[in-house]
Amino acid sequence: MKIAVFVKHVPDVAEADLEVAADGRTVKGGELPFEMNEWDRFALEEAVLVKDSLGGELTSFLIGDEAAEESLRRCLAVGADRAVRVWDDGLAGANPFALTAAMRGAIGEDEYDLILCGAQSSDDGYGLGGPLLAEALGVPSVALVNKMKVEGGKVLVTRELEGGWGEEVEVDLPALVTIQTGINEPRYVSILGIKKARKKPIDLMDAVSVGITAERLATEKEKLSLVGIETPAVGEGAEILEGSPEEVAAKCLALLKEAGGVL
Amino acid sequence: MSVWVVAEHRNGAMREVTYELLSHGAALGLGPVTALVFSGPGDGSALAASLDGKAPRTLIVEDSSLLGFNGTAQAAALATLISQSTEPPKVILGAHSAAGMDWAPTLAGKLACPAVTDVVALAAEGASLAATRVVYGGKLNSKVKLGEGPSVIATIRPGSLEEEPSLTPMTTTIETANADIPAELGKRFVAWVEELAGAVDISQADILVSVGRGIQDKENIDVAEALAEALGATLSCSRPVVDINWLPKER
Amino acid sequence: MSFNLTSEQIDIQKAAREFARGEFTKWAREADEKEYCPEVLYKQAAELGFQGIFFPEEYGGAGLGYMEFCLVIEEFWRVDPGLGQSLGSVVFGSDLLLTFGSEEQKKKYLPPITEGEAIMAAAITEADAGSDVTAVATRAVLDGDEWVINGTKMFITNGNLADYIILYCLTDPDNPSRHQRHSCIIVETDRPGFAATKIHGKMGIRASDTAELSLTDLRVPKENLIGERGEGFAQFMAFFNRTRLHIAAQGIGVAQGALDMATRHVKNRVQFGRPLAALQAVQFKIAEMATRVEASRSLLYRAASLADQGIFDHKLIAMAKWTAGETGVRVTDEALQLHGGYGYLAEYDIERFYRDAKIVELYEGTKEVEKQVIARVILGKA
């Protein structure tokens, strides 16, 4: 089984107050911690589980600068056999179309039986990369999977739908699967894993080695471009209710009653 | 110019979001709206009937590969219909849903066309579209511009319409089309899975009391539940709360 | 000189942080209330390789240094000091064995710790011998091929849990030098004559086990002596030079955790129509707390990285331990103050951190002892 997993290194914004930089297009980085994209953690774990049960080789890919290598080291620490990092200054802030072109180029002539990606990323959350890459490779894809089993040249998946529904889908290998959070319990990184990771290779590729010309990059970037980002307008008179949970609930109820339309 | 709206349905029922999409489509002002219904053999007309009077034209595509939901088959069918049409649609609209996250990026790959997902506001701008999205876990809004196409794809977050969908009653022409879907796609729908009996669909609730990571303790969910009950509301939660099994996924 | 952590150190720090955040949070309050650390945490920590991180590989360790161990302790304490101390103290005493133990002793006692099969302890303190360790009266007498031990020990971390304990005993009461009368002996706790009684009601780090030991005609083989007879004092002084690094990491961890909570609180809590963080008095407070934490951390990282180069600068180590303890106590105090009345409730974690921090100024040498060590290096024996 040849397995590939794609991961992304993203800012962890759960506790951060985000500020828009002076250019109106980027977030003020500064003190923001960066982590592996949450969905990708589950994709990585699933990849390791498949490798553990069926054997084979797991390659992890990442598009990002040197600081992003941390997420690749995590892949190696939990069980990936090798890692590939693709970077070119032209890929900074690139849209999913440009990133997919780089991902396709990084795979090159290699043939993987199973390619896993997170269903989306927590920064811009397009959820485009996986299926786009599958189309570029000419393999079927299935998105938003929360249960999967590889068996007899096929992968049987359950996709999560809205309102407590799911659907079962069968896909022939080679295939690309995008993973929803909660599909497994991503393992913690062990000290031994970290030490082993140091001995495994991280290959570097640039735009030339993944075969993307400046012209191609420009075409892909043209498809979707960022105009600007802004802080959402804060509702007038936001009020934080204080007190014990019971008191907060009571105050909340009173306010909603007063505002009308409820109860 | 025209706008195509991909109807979303499940288990024989049209989903609410389809009406929102029709409303969004009409508001774009980029020509007449066609609703597309992809279904298994014999299921199309009943589904199309639920769209009667809400779009000037409904196109039914039936195929055994479209039974249930198959994003790959649906994307293949759309790609064929677009290549066959004398004037391809300027915009293909879909829902940013489990289905939309499957077929829409696949279609974007097939057509090598601009696409944007999870849009909360959409407007025609110049020769293409401008979209507003919510990024970084809802902490920022971003505005993006799509390339020119000929066709572009946009999926819209359900419930992002400011008002109830309002569509001027109109006469609907119902047509059927054959999309020549390849017999072997490498992907087959197997079955619907009803994960929870009496499932709650939070996207259909009027009032939600929602719980996030800030709830801290599992016990504190009782408080939220009590509030929901007092309000006659539905309890919902964010993804991390589901992932640690404090509340079921349907929430 | 580099002030950056290596990529491996960053990975270790993150691994410890993730484990602690993922697993400690759900237990912390109960562990504090009921005075125990769940067994599953001991197991997980060992499986993930956190036990014996600084042991050489031949003894089952990761072959890393004090710096890495300090990073782990800091992250553990940042999430919960009580559980951090429970898991961090599993190896307590091993430094002495590593430095002075025989090859057989190291091979016998160290690997089970890294595998989660054994817990260690070290026992010096007695009811009447605290900072003055030369006053230790627990007696070990050689009888043929065995040491016969009698006495009691007080405030012994892991006393009820440990599989073996390094016991500081009086072996040569007649030696003219007060510093050559004691020896270190390894005692397996399943030997007859060993009894441990749990001490309840600690103010903080309540998840961590503390016991009073009673040793009655306890017999261990002669070979359980560590190093040479009469060298116990010198061994323990060298031992403290190592463990004080871990303790300093604890102070920094508890302070950082309190600072995290305070920062979150002042950004969210609205008073007088603005978040507390908008008040300059609060801003200054946060700035002071953060600076103290960084200053203490710099001192510790310097002392620890020197230790990993084989340089145990006991003045620097004492400075790091004293400052970290004070930082822990001050920063938890300020953080609680910033929480106002809420901080006084057990419902808020800062209440527990406030209680937990104090121990860092007490054990492994009180802050007064640390200052004495520092002054002695600077002034000589005045």
Looking at CA atoms only, how far is residue A136 from chain C in angstroms? 34
pLDDT at A203 over 70: yes
* pLDDT for the residue A234: 66
Q: Is the pLDDT of residue B198 over 60?
A: no
Q: Which residue has the tokens 């892909």?
A: A220
Q: Is A73 on the interface with C (CB under 8 A)?
A: yes
Residue B93's DSSP bridge partners are B5, B154
3-class DSSP state for residue C144? coil
First to last CA, chain B: 40
Q: Residue A110: helix, strand or coil by DSSP?
A: coil
Return the percentage of chain B with pLDDT > 90, whole number.
57
Q: Tell me the mean pLDDT in the region C279-283.
A: 96
Strands C274-275 and C270-271: antiparallel
Q: Are A67 and A9 in contact (CB under 8 A)?
A: yes
The verdict on C362 and C243 lying in the same domain is yes
- A261 — pLDDT class (breaks 50, 70, 90): very low
**Res A197 pLDDT > 90:** yes
Cα dihedral: A165, A168, A171, A176 (round 10): 30
Residue C272 burial (CB count, 10 A): 8
Closest CA to A74 of A132, A126, A10: A10
**CATH code: domain of residue C331:** 1.20.140.10
Interface probe for A, chosen from C4, C5, C11, C25 (most Cβ of A below 10 Å), is C11
Q: Does C62 touch chain A (CB under 8 A)?
A: yes
The predicted structure's pLDDT at residue B197: 42
- Overall number of domains in chain C: 3
Residue with the two structure tokens 């000290």: A191
Q: How many other β-carbons are positioned within 10 Å of the β-carbon of residue A50?
A: 23
Look at residue C100 in the predicted model and tell me its pLDDT.
97
Amino acid at B231: L
C53 touches chain A (CB under 8 A): yes
Q: What is the mean pLDDT of chain C?
A: 96
- The rounded distance, in Å, linking the Cα atoms of A117 and A114 is 10
Q: Are C261 and C334 in contact (CB under 8 A)?
A: no
Beta-bridge mates of residue C120: C164
pLDDT at B201: 62
What are B62-115's pLDDT values in tens digits? 999 999 899 999 999 999 999 999 999 999 999 999 999 999 999 999 999 999
C2 part of a folded domain: no
**Phi, then psi, of C96 in degrees rounded to 5:** -70, -40
Whole-angstrom distance, CA of residue C348 vs CA of residue C181: 48
CA B167 to chain A, closest CA, distance in angstroms equals 25
Let me know whether C366 and C257 are in one domain: yes
Q: Is residue A263 over pLDDT 50?
A: no
pTM for this predicted structure: 0.88
* pLDDT mean across residues, chain A: 91
pLDDT value at residue C234: 96
Question: Does any CB of chain C come closer than 8 Å to the CB of residue A15?
Answer: yes
CB of C278 within 8 Å of any CB in chain A? Answer: no
Instruction: Give ipTM to 2 decimals.
Output: 0.91
The position carrying tokens 């077929």 is: B103
- The answer to whether the CB atoms of C11 and A192 lie below 8 A apart is no
Q: What confidence tens digit (pLDDT) does each residue in B230-248 have?
A: 777 778 777 667 666 677 6
Buried b (16+ CB within 10 A) or exposed e, A183-216: bbebbbbbbebbbebeebebeebebeebebeeee
Q: Given CB atoms, is A140 within the 8 Å cutoff of chain B?
A: yes
Kindly state whether residues C49 and C181 are assigned to the same domain. no
Q: Which residues on adjacent β-strands are paired with residue C194?
A: C215
Length of chain A: 263
pLDDT digits (tens, 9 = 90+) for B120-171: 999 999 888 999 999 988 889 999 999 998 999 999 999 887 666 666 778 8
SS3 C43: helix
| CB B14 within 8 Å of CB B51 | yes
**Considering the domain A2-222 in this protein, what is its CATH number?**
3.40.50.620
Whole-angstrom CA distances from A253 to B6, B205, B214, B218, B226 are 40, 18, 20, 22, 11
Alpha carbons C281 and C149: distance in angstroms, whole number: 58
Give all chains having 3 or more CB-to-CB distances under 8 Å with chain A. Answer: B, C
Q: Could you tell me which chain C residue has the CA closest to the CA of A188?
A: C19
**Structural domain spans, chain B:** 3-177, 202-243
Angle at A57 between CA A51 and CA A63, to 5 degrees: 100
Residues of chain A neighbouring C10 (CB-CB closer than 8 A): 70
Q: State the pLDDT at residue C373.
A: 94
* DSSP codes joined into one string, A25-93: SSB--TT--EEE-HHHHHHHHHHHHHHHHH--EEEEEEES-GGGHHHHHHHHHHT-SEEEEE--GGGTT
Compute the half-sphere exposure of residue A28: CA atoms within 13 Å on the CB side of its CA.
11
Distance from CA of A241 to the nearest CA of C (A): 9
d(CA B154, CA A224): 11
Tokens 């409730």 identify what position?
C345
pLDDT of res. A259 = 52
- The DSSP output letter for B235 is E
**b/e burial code for range C359-373 (CB count within 10 A of at least 16 → b):** bbbbbbbebebbeeb
Cβ pair C150, C222 in contact under 8 A: no
Residue A262 has pLDDT above 50, yes or no: no
Given C57, C364, C368, C370, the catalytic residue: C364
Residue C185 lies in domain = 120-230
| Domain regions of chain A by residue span | 2-222
Interchain CB distance below 8 Å, A164 and B250: yes
Q: Which residue of C has its CA nearest to A242?
A: C269
Say which of A18, A100, A245 has its CB closest to residue B136: A18
From residue A1, how far is each of A74, A103, A150, C374 by CA, in Å? 21, 20, 10, 61
CB contact under 8 A, A156 and B142: no
State how beta strands B140-146 and A114-118 pair: unpaired
pLDDT of amino acid A155: 98
Identify the bridge partners of residue B27 per DSSP, sorted by sequence position: none
- Residues of A within 8 A of B191 (CB-CB) are 167-168
End-to-end CA gap in chain C: 35
Is the same domain home to C243 and C372? Answer: yes
Beta strands (DSSP E) in chain A are 2-7, 9-11, 34-36, 57-63, 82-86, 114-118, 141-151, 154-160, 165-172, 175-179, 202-205, 224-230
Alpha-carbon span C313 to C316, nearest angstrom: 5
Same domain as C375, residue C239? yes
For residue A69, list chain C residues with Cβ-Cβ distance below 8 A: 7
Residue finishing a domain among C68, C90, C114: C114
Mean pLDDT of C154-159: 97
d(CA B66, CA B41): 8
Cβ distance B220 to A171 less than 8 Å, yes or no, reads: no
Q: Is the pLDDT of residue C263 over 90?
A: yes
Structural domain includes residue C1: no
* Mean of pLDDT values over B185-207: 74
Compare B149 and A180 and report the one with higher pLDDT.
Answer: A180
* pLDDT value of residue C338: 96
CB contacts, 8 Å: A190 with chain C: 15, 47-49
Q: Are residues C102 and C165 in the same domain?
A: no
Tally of CB atoms within 10 A around C330? 17
C305 and C245 belong to one structural domain:
yes
Q: Tell me the C-alpha distance between C39 and C175, whole Å.
A: 44
Give the pLDDT confidence of C202-257 residue by residue, as tens digits: 999 999 999 999 999 999 999 999 999 999 999 999 999 999 999 999 999 999 99
Known catalytic residue at C364 = yes
CATH label of the domain that carries residue C149: 2.40.110.10
Distance in angstroms (rounded) separating the CA atoms of residues B51 and B16: 11
The top-level CATH class assigned to B3-177 is alpha beta
State the average pLDDT over residues B220-232.
77
DSSP 8-state class, residue C290: H
Hey, which bits of C144-201 come out as E strands? Answer: 146-157, 164-170, 182-188, 194-198
* DSSP-based three-state secondary structure for B78: helix
> In this structure, what DSSP letter does residue A120 have?
S
**Could you tell me if B8 and B47 are in contact, meaning their C-beta atoms sit under 8 angstroms apart?**
no
In DSSP notation, C207-251 reads TS-EEEEEEEEEEEEGGGEESSTT-HHHHHHHHHHHHHHHHHHHH
Let me know: does C122 contact C94? Beta carbons within 8 Å: no
